[in-house]
Structure 1
Amino acid sequence: MTEKNEKLEISTASRLSVAPMMDWTDRHCRYLHRLMSRRSLLYTEMVTAPALVRGGALHLLDHHAAEHPVALQLGGSDPAELAEAARLGARAGYDEINLNCGCPSDRVQSGTFGAVLMKDAPLVAACVAAMREALPDGPEVTVKCRIGVDDQDPQEVLPAFIETVAAAGVTRFSIHARKAWLQGLSPKENREIPPLDYGLVRAMRARFPALHLSVNGGIATLDAAQVFLAEGLDGVMIGRAAYHQPWDILGRADSRLYGQPDPFDSPGDVVRAMMPYIDEHLASGGRLHQITRHMMGLFAGRPGARRWRQILSEGASRPGAGNALVEEALDSIPREEAA
């Protein structure tokens, strides 16, 4: 496959992406999500460049071959360190390297990266330029950002930020359509309280027609995703809804957004398809709850969902728990839902 074709494939995949989410989108979560959609783009949790480069925590790059297309999200603000972390990510086989300019948590701010980088577009440009130079034949470097932080005027800050960073060679941005308040709001509140401004993201689509722009924030259904795509956005990134109702978002994504067959007919089929992976994980010394915690929402909104969650949450952490418990939980789902 040529480099041009590889870029085209990842660009197409990002019509729908599952947002990077700390403590959620680990490799087990991504394997589950990939079973439901073979086309959408998956992201890792944010991995800090210092952890990889200074801490040698290369295990954070572990992923299953089945996860592709999959992007590594990096956090950092030192161009040289990010360049080396990008090299490590490329060596590990990731299809995209993404720089986090959107996370508002205290621990991210203390490292001078995440959403605080919205205040320093030239530094972001230097970071992505160094990353791109480190990957002359490697995966594409992209950016995930907010529309602004604190008292910034998004109408001024966002276009200036995009223009500066695009000049350094970035052609794909995922824009969380909310400000981040670095003081006074928790990370959870920063996902909910600042008002969404989808109109500004649409305006960026018109202002930067050569760029690939995805919208993120508050999108909870495939219907909503299709509206954004029909309006001209290049991609839609969904976070919490894809995690808490994975079947509703990913189970029909391939047919509705990519014109391709869906891999499975029901969430019950997905559970059965997870069992060999669970067996492999347990055989290597893993614990059942490390996987099943990501499966709790598979039957969200369907009969039997509460009992499914109860059996897994109460039993998956017990010593020796395995697929027999998963089978028991699946048996609690009415046959027409689990078939």
Structure 2
Amino acid sequence: MFCFKRVRKPAVAKQRTDRQAITEDQKPTHQTAAGVYNFSSKAAMETIDSARDDSVSLMISNPKMLDCCNCFKPLTIPVFQCDNGHIICSTCNPELRNKCPQCTLDISSKHCKAIENLLLSIGMPCPNTKYGCGEKISYLGNSKHGEECIHKPCHCPYLGCYFVGSSDSLTNHFNHKHGVSQINFSYGYFFVVSLMSNDIVLQEQNDLTLFILKSSTMALGKAVNICCVGPNFPKSEYSYDIFARTEKCKLKLQSFAANVNRFVSTTFSSNFLMIPSDSSEPLKLQICINPPMMQIFIKGSNGKTIIVNVKSSDTVLNVKLEIHYRQNIPVQHQLLICEGRRLEDDMTLGHYNIKAESTLHLSLRNSHMCHAS
């Protein structure tokens, strides 16, 4: 389903018939090979009055009609057209030397404004709408949003479970349905894991993020690494350390957990630790997973807000020390409140489920210090 912007022309003193309006304002020049009329429309070029702008929902039964006839990918602006009506995208046109790949006729150097205006007017819901994304995106911005959407579907890593949902719904699902099958841990602290199986699910006990400890037996020993279950963004934000000790050596791997939205037996990142096998006993690993940096807002009683870069493993005291450093407010005078709860110094931000762009309210114990906030 696509949503098109519709432009309403200003009212005129003399009303024309529908036939006259079509003849004068939207005179078709020819029909393209894609089956779309190329209009020379005055209305299409007029400025949209936002007060009177509206949109209509239309169904395009064959979205492939908006694909380039050479690479068969969605069209991008500028759009070019051969003398026979075949449409070429901006990427392919320079490579074709002005010859249409379908009919060998010349490709015009002029843009196909009708198709360009059509592409600019198309809006659509994100493909991940059913997983919680409420964004309305343009046809031309679809691929960029698709790469960045935080609501990409993720598959449950539990063997035999077919649940699919956003990363947030998946973590809640796993915690409630398979809560006894994973190893719980806290960010920034080492914990010990025995490699009793090839794939072990790890779950952070505060924000419930899921990780997979993957191990694979190879000729030289055991290869191990860690993946994060979530939208498969190119850049990973979680770092980890793995320590292994055998009878003959000590080994260490520092790396970043690759993001995977669907874990299969062949999932394995390019960074892994190879541990020689010299014992029949299950191998024990020491693991520490570190959360990404995030920004939170500290709002003082005077309405001023500062931005602080933190990790969910940081304590409330760490945040107060940063406030003291930047605003010279003694730690003992600070009270930090989030969603009506007073935050205790020795608890982590993750314990209070404080996420990126959360706002903490700063109050002062002594009234004579209020001017410093």
The bucket for the TM-score relative to the shorter chain is under 0.3
The structure that is strand-richer by fraction is 2
- Work out which structure has the larger RCO, using CA pairs closer than 8 Å and 6 or more positions apart in sequence: 1
Q: Considering only CA atoms, is the larger Rg found in Structure 1 or Structure 2?
A: 2
TM-score normalized with structure 2 length: 0.20
The structure that is helix-richer by fraction is 1
